[in-house]
Structures are given as C-alpha cells and as structure tokens.
Amino acid sequence: MTTFAPTTAAEVLDAVAWAAAEEAPLEVVGHGTKRGIGRPVQAGHTLDLSGLSGVTLYEPEELVLSARAGTPVAEIAALLAENGQEFAFEPMDYGPLLGGAAGRGTVGGMLAANLSGPRRLKAGAARDHVLGIYAVSGRGEAFKSGGRVVKNVTGYDLSKGLAGSWGTLAVVTDVTFKVLPAAETEMTLVVHGLDDDRMAAALAVAMGSSCEVSGAAHLPMGIAERVAGGALGEGSTTLLRIEGFGPSVAYRVGRLRDLLEGVPAIDAIEAETSKTVWREIRDCAPFADGTARPVWRVSVAPSEGWKLALALRMEAPASAFFDWQGGLVWLRMEEDDPQAELVRSLVAKCGGGHATLVRAAAAWCTSVPVFEPQPPALAALSLRLKDEFDPKGILNPGRMG
Amino acid sequence: MSRLKMPAPEAATLARRAEIVADMRTIVPGEGVVDTVNGMRVFESDGLTAYRQLPLVVVLPETVAQVARILKYCNERGIRVVPRGSGTSLSGGALPLEDAVLLVMSRFNRILDIDYANRVVVAQPGVTNLGITTAVEQEGFYYAPDPSSQIACSIGGNVAENSGGVHCLKYGLTANNVLGIEMVLMSGEVVRLGGRHLDAEGYDLLGLMTGSEGLLGVVTEVTVRILKKPETARALLIGFPTNEQGGQCVADIIGAGIVPGGMEMMDAPAIRAAEDFLHAGYPLDCEALLIVELDGPQTEVDHLIGAVEAIAKKNGSTLCRISTSEEERLAFWAGRKAAFPAVGRLSPDYYCMDGTIPRKQLPRVLAGMRRLSEEYGLRVANVFHAGDGNLHPLILYDANVPGELQKAEDFGADILRLCVEVGGVLTGEHGVGVEKRDLMPEMFNETDLDQQMRVKCAFDPNHLLNPGKVFPQLRRCAELGRMHVHRGQTAFPDIPRF
C-alpha cells in the first residue's frame, strides 16, 4: 500500500505509467471530500493529488482561469472574488453533507464530479464551463484537450467527457475554466405556505418569465426552519433568486410579484441572508446532520420532482426538498435502507432521469448501485469508453460500477 | 484542400452498388432512395462548395427503425455512411464519399413535443434551428443559439457541430442548450442520453456527441432548452480609430461585469464592404467598428447602455450611436449580418475562416493577417465575435484564376496557425470537417489525437461513420488499443511516497 503524492504533472505521469505497467490499481483522490460517494474503490495504492496545487493562469478580462487539479476550489473562489468574479455554475461543497469540513474540495474533484449548484438551471454545471484539460489516461499517456478560449469545436470535447467520470477514465492534472462576473446585487423572494402543486405552478411561472430567475427552490415544512438559522421561519417556503445590477434586480423582483399575484405571503430577503440560504441549499445543509442516513440526489423533469417525493413517502419514510425549479430532489431516507429499487422505479415512472446515492452506510454502497443503472446498449458503450482509456482498470476501479 | 486526400473507395462496395441500392429500397420504401446522378447532384456538396463528390446512394429515412436498420446493414457489410442534415456545414462535414451511403435526415422534420412547464422542446433532428423558435414564439419563447444559417441549418446538424451564433457569449453554445438526444450507433443500437432533466447520467456522452461532426452516431431526436424572450434589446454602434482601442473597449466592458447579448467587431475592409453594399450608415473613417447589444428588462438595458457608452468614450471612440427604436437596432445589425454577401461583391469568391483567439491578442493577429495578406497578394476582411474571441477572416480570391484557390487555402491555413500560436484554436464554431482536418497536428500532438480517436473507437470501432473527417490520419482501433508497456523501469524515484 503506497501513497503517491506527486507535485508535478510529470510525476503523475510516472506514477500512472508505473501502475499501468504493473496493473496496480490506484485510488485517485484530492482531499478526499467526496470519497464516500460511489462504490468503494478496490485499489492497493493511492494517488493523492492534493500536492499538485496552484493557480497557473488567471486573466480576469479574458474570463479564464487555469489551475492544477489539487487546488482547493475555496482558494480559487477567494481569488475570483477579489476580482468580482466567480464560477457561475455555483459548485456545491459535499464536505459537510458527508461528515467532513467545508471548503476542502479541489478543482479536479469539481470536474470529476461535474459539480453545480442552484444556478445550474440557468448557468449549467462544471461541464458547461470547462474549457480545457491536461490529463493522464489509464494507459499512462499524457494528453490535452480543448484550450483556453470559450468558443472551440476543434476535435472531440474530452474535457466534457471527463466531467462526471469520477476519475475512472483519466487523471486530470490541469484544468482551465471559464469564469464570469459575479452579480452586483441579489435578492430572494420568499413565498410562504404553498402546497406542492401550487408550488410547482409558481416555479414554472417564474422560470417561464423573462425575469432571469437564477435560483428556484422549495423547502417543505420541517426543512425550511433548518436553513440559515431559521431566518425563513416555519412552514413550507418557496424561494426565487434574482441577481444582476441593482435597478434590474429591483424591477424584476417587482415583475415577479405581479406574476405571482394571488400567491399569499411574499417576503424578500437580501444580501448576506440570501447568500447563506442559497449556499445551504447548494450544499444540502438540511441533511448535513452528522448521520449516515441515506441521501439521494435525484434529477428529473422539474414538473415531476414533487410527485416523485409524494409517491415515495407513501411507501417509505423520507424527507425531501427541491432545487432547480423542482427537478433536483434531495431525499433523505429516515431508515437505514436506501430503497434503491423503489426510488429508481419512481424516477422511471416520472419520465426518467437519474438517482445517485450520495450518502449511505458503507455496506449499502457495496450492495446497491450508487449511480443510475443504464440500459444495456448505453452501459456497453460506457464500458467500451472505459476500456479505451483505462484498459487495465487501474483508475478508481469499481467506483462507478 | 485541393490536395485533400479522402479515404480510397472500397472496390468491393462500388461493385455491389446495385445490390446495396436494392436493399436500401427494401428498408426505405417509396421515394426515400435516390440513386440517379441527377437526383444525387444536389447532395454532392455542403456549405464548403469548393469540394464535390457524388455519393454511392442517397437514402432519406423517415423512422428511427429505418435508420437503425440502415446502419446495422452497413456495419455488418463494412459499408461507409456519411450523415447529413441540411448540408450547411462550412467545413465539409457532410461531404459525400464515392463508396458511402449518404444518410440524409431531412425527413425527420417534426416537432414532437412542446413542454412550457419544463421549458423544453423535443424535436426531430431535421427541424431547422429557426423552426424551433417559430414553434414557440407565439408564447414568447425562443431557442437561444442562433448560427447565421439558422433559417436552413437543422438542429441535428447543430448538435453534430456544436453550433454557436451571435448570442452565445451570454446564452451558450448548442452544448449548453441541449438537454438530451436519442441516437443510433453504427451497430444499429438506439441509445438515449439525458432528457428533460438536467445532467445526463454516467459519463457525459452527450457532451462528447455534441460537436462530434457525425463520426460517433446519428442523432434521431433532440431535447432543447427554450427561454422566454428578453423584454427588450438595444444596440450601440461604436467606432474606433484603431483596432487596439476597439479591443480594449471589449475587454473593459467584460471587465465591468457586463455580459452583452451580442458583441461584434468589424475591421476597416469589412466596414467598407458593408457600407458600399447596404449604406447602413457605417462610418468609413474607423479602423474598428463595434456593435454591442444589450438585452433584458428595459431598466437593465438603459442602465447598461450608459455604462457601455462611458467605457467607449474612455477608450477614445470617435462615434457612439445608441439605438432608440427597434428599426434603428436592426439597421445597426444589417451591415454586420450582410457582411458575407457584401464582401462577396468585392470578389468572385471568398473563403471564410473560423479561428478563436484570446481576445487581447486581436491587434497582434490582425497585424499578422495584414502582413500575410501582402505576402499572398490576397485581400482579407474580418468580422469578429468580439465577446468570445471568434474570428471570421474572409479571404477574397478568384477560383477561375489557376492556383488562386490553393493560395487562399494556404493563406487561411497560415491564419489558423497564427491563431494557435497566440493561444487560440483552429475552429470556434464551423467544425474541423475536411477543411481543417490536416491542420489538427498544429494544435494536437499524436497522443492527443489518439485519445480522441479512442472515443471514436468506443462508438464506431470499424471507422465506418463519416470517415475522412476530423482526423488527419486514421489508425485502426485494434492498433490503438494495444498497450505500450514499459515494465521494469525505475519508477518515479522523485515522487514523494508515504
């Protein structure tokens, strides 16, 4: 059992080339904040990229930033904030949900897990903002893809191919991302007391407007009071975030109030409170309870999320809250059994999507598929891609299995 | 590209043409199989008209089952297939091969579902880009990516090429606006990726498919995001005495946290051509002309117009007009939108390039282009998606002058080399196709290209789908699959180990 801790891309190449030659599987980690997600990796050795750190290029006026894979996202976010910029896709921090500290995830992990946040519905995920990568495949070959410019269709977009691959195709050593100006002002409309179907209708109206809503979430009774130290009060809460320049935010908030006419009890929260609320929704804070109770991250069509949760609760005790206009369902099962078959049959019944078991006791992660099982033709295609990039199965073997 | 080498036709396939045509007719009955020279002539070229080739046979399927049967049939017999949407590719992505079935998807022309609650449209791949907007505009919605060929280009082709457009700085490319597809692999297997939900599950095969130029699979259904139209849009027309000032103005607008709906720049030759053609009121004493469009709520647009105007003044603009009506906004755009035909009037032929550069390199690249223009003795005009650094140099030439096409292509290749040299790329939105295929090594080394080809091998191990495009040199998948193992070397003596 060896832990390799390379500090350069060349050292990563050496380590992976050795592992490929010896057919010695590697667990690829940054700070290990998302180690609990996926099936347990069967590897004798560890490739620890946390020492491969540092921002290598940042040109704010070109909206571009490059960093070594082990650079903490928090460090980059601080640098961007100094220049009034950010990762527009609002990458979540899995640390607290999985029982770890906040602010430790790396930029390589951000790509490997294709992270995003509440703004996903407007701004996309990590996959939509990655411009280029340097990586080492499971064959021990160093390669690059993409570049540092926003518009680029030169060759296949391997950067996207590695987004959400959980380190099973190649070890990313350097990444380049598009960055964007952070909004000058934000304001969140808080609607109290909507039941599920009225909530879904209100969110659809808001998202179907030209108000450029950048966050659309619903926290049912029992969840809302766990957010932002109780700032949202009790009872169910539906949230709509508006961001931009001051005069525009004020106008659009007014416009949304008009569109939601007839909806009772609308408040507005601003500045730090608004930021805290959305950060906690992003990081699934209501379920960051220090337990190992199963947590599912489910993506379905926005109109279907609440129906899925309702149907699930008829069969098993569970808590749920909703982001992405209702299409992202965070579920916490109140008993030990994640009820994988039940959850997935409901996803299928709701028109399709996927359910990922992001937290569960280790035994469950071994016995149920953590990632959404794929139909045979798609599963075979994914397996062929894995075989092309990692024929000896040395990179995070078993993790996505 | 006059020297373009395409894969040698398979003699066995050519010899079996009659049998293949007959078999295609059993799969696609009626008018869906075209095998006469006259009938096939309209398909011999795409938007890169310098290259023409009649296909083996043209097949226009109507159902997914037919597509699956055609591909399976061809896969089992080693017959090549070239997919085609509307044939508007500017890089020769749909250029036929003599021994390949040309699979034309234009009969897949129906919108399957409009779902306003989830803000998606499900369309067949032959629906035009503009057709999607047309289907939803009565409710005030639109589909954001707007390639200039949007009246003709198909949404399936947009997926294949990852098409952009004027608005992609703010609203993203095709890849950012497609939620799901259904596609048929060369094996005939039907696969669905994504859907009405966000993020496809497992590996991001949707991301790989988008921009794969018809080499990985044939798209048979597309689910796209639609957006509510912005309340209003206004534009500024800004002139600068130098390209440097124009470039700096663009950088300062972005630096101020403003992301315009569109931001276009034209150089002096393009300005003059447009003005001569349309009399749009463009100033002739400017080196650089910038069109900045701001869209959104009236309040926001008015607020930002003031901010952009101040930035323009600070950078020494000699002209700054602000649209006060929809007619005026469209008039600002008219010259830019007509830039290609306008330049076309100056010369019998023009060749449109498509490099992307880091924006700050614009003055250097324009200067380099002027130098090359003198060297080659060919004129060049530039239109530029300034916000995202995507350049469209238009090289003027006359194909009837012997050797001039060749010269234009060499000039174009040198421009693209320059783009790569300053940190840019070969193509921003037109694709590699056959046009830039042989330039790929300027940007990628052999190992880089091998990884891309490995993706191809996972999807189409026999290299039957659209061969001769994108990759300068095809390597057998079996050969690529071999591991080159260097066992026994002293492993990583310098890596810290714990």
What is the H or E stretch that residue B18 is in? helix B17-27
Give the chain A residue nearest B258 (alpha carbons). Answer: A181
**Does residue B482 belong to any structural domain of this protein?**
no
Per-residue pLDDT, B486: 60
The rounded mean pLDDT for chain B is 93
The answer, yes or no, to whether residue A71 has pLDDT greater than 60, is: yes
**Does residue B469 belong to any structural domain of this protein?**
no
Same domain for A84 and A160, yes or no, is yes
Same domain for A60 and A144, yes or no, is yes
Over range A149-173, report the average pLDDT. 96
The rounded mean pLDDT for chain A is 96
How many angstroms separate the CA of residue A228 from the nearest CA in chain B?
26
Contact A293, A334 (CB under 8 A): yes
Q: Percent of chain B beyond pLDDT 70? A: 96
Torsion of CA B113, B117, B118, B120, to 10 degrees: 40
Answer with the residue of higher pLDDT: A266 or B295: B295
User: The complex's ipTM?
Assistant: 0.97
For residue A154, list chain B residues with Cβ-Cβ distance below 8 A: 425-427, 432, 436, 440, 443
Per-residue pLDDT, A110: 98
- Residue pointed to by tokens 């003596």: B493
Q: Percent of chain A beyond pLDDT 90? A: 95
Domain residues for the domain of A40 are 2-181
Does A157 touch chain B if contact means CB atoms closer than 8 Å?
yes
Same domain for A14 and A105, yes or no, is yes
- Residue B493's pLDDT band (boundaries 50, 70, 90)? low
Same domain for B242 and B379, yes or no, is yes
**Does residue B94 belong to any structural domain of this protein?**
yes
Q: Which of B120, B356, B448 sits opposite A152 (nearest CB)?
A: B356
What is the H or E stretch that residue B279 is in? none
CATH code of the domain containing A261: 3.30.70.2190
Q: Which of A153, A160, A165 to mutate to test the interface with B (most CBs of B within 10 A)?
A: A153
| Rg (chain A; Cα; Å) | 21
Contact A374, A12 (CB under 8 A): no
Does A324 touch chain B if contact means CB atoms closer than 8 Å?
yes
Burial of A92 (0-12, 13-18, 19+ CB in 10 A): buried
Per-residue pLDDT, B498: 57
- Residue pointed to by tokens 């299995």: A401
Domain end marker among B180, B201, B228: B228
**Does residue A118 belong to any structural domain of this protein?**
yes
Domain end marker among B228, B253, B275: B228
Same domain for A328 and A239, yes or no, is no
Over range B212-226, report the average pLDDT. 98
Dihedral sign, Cα of residue A213, residue A215, residue A216, residue A218? negative
Domain end marker among B228, B261, B282: B228
Predicted confidence (pLDDT) per residue in A112-129, tens digit = 999 999 999 999 999 999
Over range A315-335, report the average pLDDT. 98
Per-residue pLDDT, B487: 58
Predicted confidence (pLDDT) per residue in A107-116, tens digit = 999 999 999 9
Q: Cβ A151–B161 below 8 Å, yes or no? A: no
Does A128 touch chain B if contact means CB atoms closer than 8 Å?
yes
For B284, other C-beta atoms within 10 Å of its C-beta total: 11
- Residue A136's pLDDT band (boundaries 50, 70, 90)? very high
Over range A281-293, report the average pLDDT. 97
Same domain for B71 and B220, yes or no, is no
Q: Which of B210, B358, B489 sits opposite A62 (nearest CB)?
A: B358
Over range A359-363, report the average pLDDT. 94
**Does residue B457 belong to any structural domain of this protein?**
no
- Residue A131's pLDDT band (boundaries 50, 70, 90)? very high
Q: Cβ A351–B424 below 8 Å, yes or no? A: no
Q: Cβ A378–B304 below 8 Å, yes or no? A: no
B50 vs A114: CA distance, rounded Å: 41
Same domain for B99 and B117, yes or no, is no
Nearest to A221 by CA among A331, A97, A319: A319
Same domain for A292 and A356, yes or no, is yes
Same domain for B129 and B158, yes or no, is yes
Per-residue pLDDT, B369: 94
Domain end marker among A282, A313, A348: A282
B360 vs A59: CA distance, rounded Å: 10
- Residue B346's pLDDT band (boundaries 50, 70, 90)? confident
Same domain for A243 and A300, yes or no, is no
Domain end marker among A112, A147, A181: A181
Per-residue pLDDT, B1: 44
Same domain for A215 and A194, yes or no, is yes
Domain residues for the domain of B277 are 232-430
Give the chain A residue nearest B385 (alpha carbons). Answer: A151
Domain end marker among A260, A282, A304: A282
**Residue A389 identity:** F
A206 vs A330: CA distance, rounded Å: 21
Per-residue pLDDT, A127: 98
Same domain for A31 and A172, yes or no, is yes
**Does residue A231 belong to any structural domain of this protein?**
yes
Question: Where are the strands (E) in B409-473, listed by range?
Answer: none
- Residue A204's pLDDT band (boundaries 50, 70, 90)? very high
Contact B99, B13 (CB under 8 A): yes
**Residue A77 identity:** A
Tokens linked to A154? 């030169």
CATH code of the domain containing B420: 3.40.462.10
CATH code of the domain containing B209: 3.30.465.10
Same domain for B170 and B262, yes or no, is no
- Residue pointed to by tokens 């003795």: B377
Predicted confidence (pLDDT) per residue in B360-392, tens digit = 898 899 999 999 999 999 999 999 999 889 999
- Residue B474's pLDDT band (boundaries 50, 70, 90)? confident
Question: Where are the strands (E) in A139-288, listed by range?
Answer: 142-146, 170-178, 180-181, 185-192, 213-219, 237-244, 266-270
Same domain for B189 and B287, yes or no, is no
- Residue A349's pLDDT band (boundaries 50, 70, 90)? very high
Same domain for B391 and B322, yes or no, is yes
Same domain for A309 and A270, yes or no, is no
Q: Which of A3, A163, A299 sits opposite B497 (nearest CB)?
A: A3
Number of domains in chain A: 3
- Least confident segment among A252-266, A300-314, B192-206: A252-266
CATH code of the domain containing B40: 3.30.43.10
Contact A65, A177 (CB under 8 A): yes
Same domain for A173 and A271, yes or no, is no
Same domain for A139 and A235, yes or no, is no
CATH code of the domain containing A25: 3.30.465.10
- Residue B485's pLDDT band (boundaries 50, 70, 90)? low
Mutual angle of helices B298-314 and B243-255, in 10-degree steps: 140
Predicted confidence (pLDDT) per residue in B16-38, tens digit = 999 999 999 999 999 999 999 99
- Residue pointed to by tokens 């924006």: B359
Answer with the residue of higher pLDDT: B455 or B337: B455
